[in-house]
Structure 1
């Protein structure tokens, strides 16, 4: 049984959805102008830059309550698949008026919602500092899960989106073990899953310079997630470049690796942006110069996504990311994969914008479920 997508609620908080013509959006959530010290927990403001329209959206075009973590007690997590996971307080009037549960998936293209089981009391400590993703692009897939990974602790939460197998649907918390940090502090510290991407139901992450891992989830309550490791050599930095950042990105059911390489160890000096595709037949990364009619959108916490290009008025075969490896600013890097040319677009003119959290993307979900 496919999940039903309900119309958006009529309350002031949730009545406005992001216009399809403005997606994808780059969101800067920051403290309000009179709350620089963060004294008032829920006083946030937002800047939204429309990549399609190449402009900041007026405040009237925004829907801050849906994507502002902590606003009115709501917690929200964006996903590379476009859907936004929303958890509202148990006594929230907006949840009771428009959804059967205070936890749901929100479609920023249509404003529709898919109700999920409530996060039970023992799981209520899910932090906002989590990365969130769906295991399939098509949220109606019978084996699609919504998954959260804690940034700081080796903990994950997951829930099946559909309930068509007759099993009780609910959230599960699982503590995984992928070893310890290779460069340990004074006391051994458990490592956490960093860059991760979902491809056709499996969650892939880089475990080490020699191994990758695929996580498979089971809807059976008593079955733990399965971690299957396989040998893959990590790509090397180009000559003269000794450091960088990496992202795993799913696009058209294929797995890609994006490497932003720094000259020496200077994170302000980007020397190259290389893209590789995983060849699962040989279990090796292959350098590519064309990813098709899509763009790759990268954000903090090593989360990356692909997005249609031409249908949204974007030039294909490009990578977008905020150049905030050292300090937060409004510089958006645009890298052409084929031409190997980088441009910088300043998306806002605010100096020292006091960010509440790192900038993030809101994408149009796949139209398969609409």
Structure 2
């Protein structure tokens, strides 16, 4: 493997004959003969800012995916965490005080550290933001603790679990503090949706993949922007010529379409299990599918992006 990785690209985690994810070109839809420095299937968590959190047995760093020497040293993460964790930065990691946040996908646990802070270690926090119903019942229980299921950093705060009628807020002061914003005019929607929060140029957006009646496919993609002065989600007719890139679990990022060679005012979404990605226009939701040629079997697809601060 060799050469500088052309970004943005898709990384598919797989276990066939390698511990390295398979990289795929967006423009060519085919495999890239390159690899990300230090990245394996189980030790790396991409952030919306492009930096990748990488943990090995002795060190933990933020890695620039295009520069083997481009590292920001972090306190060593003391435990192996879930490979599906979401990793979000509160701001530019080159600025002291930036919070590096890891969100467990199944347990109500977050890990965090402050870059350049006095407390040079990771902290583990078990949070409680209420309950959600369990269907079907599990061991006779009808509810469970609600986890964080989508998250983005905007203006130094973390916003998560965006819904059509509410959104939650996480701040570090320096301890984690949770609060709640009620949407003044909830969106009128019935059905199921996958929701992704995206920060773009200081604004907070919500991308919703709306499922059809049988929950077998996506029938529409919508984008809304948060008006914090009114506590309202407002329909976005465009996203300023930028591109949003989303992927399970919890990943949502924004990039200049021109700088990345992507389509303007579109949402790019990975469907790793089915070996393709979709491009949806924000204006009308028109969607095109693009197959990833000879992609390996994989349940996890990640966007690898050029660093943004």
Tell me if TM exceeds 0.5. yes
Aligned residue for 1:314, secondary structure, equals coil
The corresponding residue for 2:63 is 106
Question: Does residue 126 of the first structure (1) align with residue 81 of the second (2)?
Answer: yes
The corresponding residue for 1:38 is none
Matches of 1:81 and 1:57 in 2, distance apart? 23
Task: Select the structure that is richer in helix.
Answer: 1
The corresponding residue for 1:289 is 237
Q: Report the CA distance between 1:300 and its aligned residue.
A: 1.0
Relative to structure 1, is the Cα distance of residues 329 and 266 closer, same or farther in structure 2, using a 3 angstrom cutoff? same
Question: Does residue 251 of the first structure (1) align with residue 200 of the second (2)?
Answer: yes
The corresponding residue for 1:93 is none
What is the aligned length? 303
Whether contact under 8 Å (1:140, 1:162) holds in the other structure is no
Matches of 1:347 and 1:132 in 2, distance apart? 25
The corresponding residue for 1:266 is 215
Q: Report the CA distance between 1:235 and its aligned residue.
A: 2.9
**1:113-148 Cα deviation digits (max 9, x unpaired):** 01111224xxx1422231111011x22233311100
Q: Report the CA distance between 1:234 and its aligned residue.
A: 4.8
The corresponding residue for 2:120 is 169
The corresponding residue for 1:6 is none
Within 5 Å, which residues of 2 pair with 1:134-283?
Answer: 134-136=89-91, 138-163=92-117, 167-183=118-134, 185=137, 186-187=140-141, 188-206=143-161, 210-219=165-174, 224-232=175-183, 234-237=186-189, 242-268=191-217, 270-283=218-231
Question: Does residue 345 of the first structure (1) align with residue 290 of the second (2)?
Answer: yes
Aligned residue for 1:311, secondary structure, equals helix
Matches of 1:58 and 1:202 in 2, distance apart? 36
- Please report the TM-score for the alignment, with normalisation by the length of structure 2: 0.90
Matches of 1:247 and 1:349 in 2, distance apart? 28
Within 5 Å, which residues of 2 pair with 1:44-63?
Answer: 44-51=19-26, 53-59=27-33, 61-63=34-36
Whether contact under 8 Å (1:244, 1:259) holds in the other structure is yes
Matches of 2:134 and 2:83 in 1, distance apart? 27
Q: Report the CA distance between 1:109 and its aligned residue.
A: 3.3
The corresponding residue for 1:116 is 74
Q: Report the CA distance between 1:18 and its aligned residue.
A: 4.4
RMSD: 2.2
Matches of 2:203 and 2:32 in 1, distance apart? 36
**1:188-243 Cα deviation digits (max 9, x unpaired):** 32110111110011000126653321111134xxxx31112121255333xxx722
Matches of 1:323 and 1:76 in 2, distance apart? 19
Relative to structure 1, is the Cα distance of residues 161 and 174 closer, same or farther in structure 2, using a 3 angstrom cutoff? same
Matches of 2:170 and 2:97 in 1, distance apart? 14
Aligned residue for 1:258, secondary structure, equals strand
Question: Does residue 299 of the first structure (1) align with residue 247 of the second (2)?
Answer: yes
Aligned residue for 1:345, secondary structure, equals strand
Task: Select the structure that is richer in strand.
Answer: 2
**1:305-355 Cα deviation digits (max 9, x unpaired):** 11221012222111111246xxx11121111112432111112234xx432
Aligned residue for 1:67, secondary structure, equals coil
Greater Rg by CA: 1
Matches of 1:339 and 1:149 in 2, distance apart? 33
Whether contact under 8 Å (1:244, 1:267) holds in the other structure is no
Q: Report the CA distance between 1:255 and its aligned residue.
A: 0.4
Which runs of no fewer than 5 residues in structure 2 stay unpaired?
Answer: none
Relative to structure 1, is the Cα distance of residues 157 and 209 closer, same or farther in structure 2, using a 3 angstrom cutoff? same
Match 1:66 to one of 34, 38, 41: 38
Relative to structure 1, is the Cα distance of residues 242 and 127 closer, same or farther in structure 2, using a 3 angstrom cutoff? closer
Question: Does residue 362 of the first structure (1) align with residue 304 of the second (2)?
Answer: yes
Q: Which 4+ stretches in 1 moved above 4 angstroms?
A: none
